[in-house]
Structure 1
Amino acid sequence: MNPPPSDLVEANAKLWSGVVPPNAAAVEMADMLAQVIEGFERLRGELQFEDEPATFLTALQATKEIGL
């Protein structure tokens, strides 16, 4: 079983910067990362690089202002 995300964030922050989460809100936000990570893990293998936007040029054209 993996440690809670807040423990991992605290350990890495302390390792890299010598700072630990300053308050309960910081610990809560670190724990919310678990939901984000789980969401990305569920998408693993389903999306391809070429999925939306199809290409950089397509995205660029879609955001271009008309008439300039």
Structure 2
Amino acid sequence: MKRDREERDRLIKTGVLVPDRDPDLLRFERDHLFHSASLAGGVVKDGNCSGPQSWRRENDGKTLKEVT
């Protein structure tokens, strides 16, 4: 069961996430602040996600878990 599906659906309903040119994808229409890295990852991935282990810094590739 996808625990973040409800939040994803809410973001679609409010226009934060909109259809992309690729019909299999959504894109952010505007910035959105999530209250946790895991919720953000779950919405982006459309599946369960451990944010601290999944999000990486662009400059050095370290995960949030490694830097916090």
TM range (shorter): under 0.3
Q: Report the structure number with the largest CA radius of gyration.
A: 1
Considering fraction of residues, name the structure with more strand: 2
Q: TM-score, normalised by structure 2?
A: 0.27
